[in-house]
């Protein structure tokens, strides 16, 4: 009996230990904590982003899994992610131990790269500038990121500013390079600048029409617009081969009671060149000859759109696409008949409408043009009117600008002209230049 008792005690002790091991509690399930309060991450195409959650209740046996739409993409505790396409990616993180599985979802938004894009109006043609004059080059750089700039002339950096005033003291042709760089990429554009003497540079002027119709006894102003490089010009005007005016004035006031066709010739001569332009003025019967009186069938609104040509800008081509002037006029007529607006875009966009009767100016309000004005946005426009002076029912007579609130003020520019240039790519801004040496984009 003395030998049996210790064996029984030892056996009982071993059984007791096994029972205690089987009753040990399971470990708690993993806890996943992200540093960000809202688990949304942002990156760009081709860029790596690392997601490193903070875990609790994990050990060497814990299994990790990262999935997108049920597809496994990683089995490590941290994820290094990149994508070749822009989009929104939802990723499920799971951590599993003996105590269970915990999951947490994150979102990664992948954006397109914001590579800067340069546009300089007319750079493909190069620039010719008169010696001693001003040439300020203002590129349009499409980029939302902080961007650096560099200007080089003949391979030497001369500026790191976004715009550059080119020195025009010395004659010659210069190679110019403008480059820009941000964290997503870079762009550059090269062009030539030629600093010319007066006899090397081209003279330019524009006549908006070469034929005029006017009522007998009226006076019209005839003048070119957008005159460039005239310098010390003298303008000489002749009517029916008889000189009527000569001097520095680039405009001529024509009046006549003699009905019929009149030929007007204007010469522009400076120290280097002589250019001429021949125009025709048709003097029509007196005002009122072709008046169309209001009757019972007259419409209070316009009855025809003759031209509709919006400039680049908001809402243009967003909800419609036309390729001819006739299609554009049909679209505008339908919109106006529905009492809906048509967008003229930026500066220079226009619409020409006609009425089925003459509008009499009795000194009161006789015509109204509705617009999309609201608090903080007046969207002003310039209104011109024309009588059917030659009786053919077409808008080919003399336009008269109605005096607006800003007309004639010292800070108001008359004879303003803007040229829009083809964008360098799809959905990029449209560059513009004006006849005041300014440039920009819309």
Return d(Cα 428, Cα 142) in angstroms, integer: 8
Residue 31: predicted pLDDT: 95
The conformation of residue 332, written as its DSSP 8-state character, comes to H
* Neighbouring C-alpha atoms within 13 Å toward the C-beta of 284: 19
Domain ranges across the chain: 31-111, 117-200, 206-284
Which of 100-109, 203-212, 353-362, 420-429 is the least confident region? 420-429
Return d(Cα 318, Cα 320) in angstroms, integer: 6
Say which CATH class 206-284 falls into. mainly beta
Which structure tokens are listed for 337? Answer: 């008949």
| For residues 38-61, average pLDDT | 92
Which of 79-93, 292-306, 368-382 is the least confident region? 368-382
E strand residue ranges, 324-407: 350-354, 384-386, 399-401
Cα end-to-end span (Å), the chain: 108
| For residues 220-228, average pLDDT | 90
Question: 117-200 and 206-284 share one CATH topology?
Answer: yes
Q: Which CATH fold would you assign to the domain 117-200?
A: Immunoglobulin-like (2.60.40)
CATH number of the structural domain 31-111: 2.60.40.10
Give bridge partners of residue 130 from the DSSP assignment. 196
Cβ-contact 278, 238 below 8 angstroms: no
| For residues 205-232, average pLDDT | 91
What pTM does this model have? 0.67
Q: 52: Cβ–Cβ under 8 A, 6 or more apart, which residues?
A: 77, 78
Of residues 41 and 124, the one with the higher pLDDT is: 41
């Amino acid at each position: 009996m003395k030998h049996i008792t210790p064996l029984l005690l030892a056996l009982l002790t071993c059984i007791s230990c096994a029972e205690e091991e089987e009753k040990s509690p399971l470990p708690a399930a993993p806890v996943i904590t992200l540093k960000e309060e809202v688990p949304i991450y942002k990156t760009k195409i081709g860029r790596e982003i690392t997601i490193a959650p903070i875990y609790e209740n994990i050990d060497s046996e814990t299994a990790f899994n990262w999935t997108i739409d049920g597809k496994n993409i990683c089995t490590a505790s941290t994820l290094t992610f990149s994508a070749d396409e822009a989009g929104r990616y939802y990723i499920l993180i799971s951590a599993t131990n003996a105590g269970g599985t915990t999951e947490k979802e994150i979102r990664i938004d992948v954006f397109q790269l914001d590579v800067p894009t340069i546009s300089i109006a007319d750079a493909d043609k190069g620039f010719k500038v008169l010696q001693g004059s001003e040439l300020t080059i203002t590129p349009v750089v499409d980029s939302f990121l902080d961007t650096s700039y560099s200007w080089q002339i003949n391979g030497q950096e001369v500026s790191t500013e976004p715009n550059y005033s080119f020195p025009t003291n010395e004659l010659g042709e210069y190679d110019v390079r403008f480059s820009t760089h941000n964290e997503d990429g870079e762009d550059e554009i090269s062009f030539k600048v030629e600093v010319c003497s007066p006899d090397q540079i081209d003279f330019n002027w524009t006549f908006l029409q070469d034929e005029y119709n006017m009522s007998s006894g009226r006076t019209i102003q005839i003048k070119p617009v957008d005159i460039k490089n005239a310098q010390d010009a003298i303008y000489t005007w002749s009517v029916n081969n008889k000189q009527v005016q000569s001097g520095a004035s680039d405009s001529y006031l024509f009046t006549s009671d003699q009905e019929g066709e009149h030929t007007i010739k204007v010469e522009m001569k400076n120290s280097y060149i002589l250019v001429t332009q021949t125009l025709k003025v048709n003097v029509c019967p007196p005002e009122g000859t072709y008046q169309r009186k209001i009757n019972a069938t007259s419409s209070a609104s316009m009855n025809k759109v003759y031209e509709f040509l919006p400039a680049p800008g908001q809402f243009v081509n967003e909800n419609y696409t036309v390729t001819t002037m006739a299609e554009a006029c049909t679209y505008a007529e339908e919109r106006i008949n529905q009492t809906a607006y048509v967008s003229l875009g930026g500066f220079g966009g226009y619409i020409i409408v006609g009425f089925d009767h003459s509008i009499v100016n009795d000194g009161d309000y006789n015509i109204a043009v509705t617009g999309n004005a609201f608090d903080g946005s007046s969207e002003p426009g310039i209104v011109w009117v024309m009588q059917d002076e030659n009786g053919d029912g077409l808008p080919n007579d003399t336009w008269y600008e109605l005096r607006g609130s800003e007309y004639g003020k010292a800070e108001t520019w008359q004879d303003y002209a803007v040229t829009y240039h083809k964008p360098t790519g799809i959905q990029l801004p449209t560059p513009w230049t004006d006849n005041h040496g300014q440039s920009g984009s819309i």
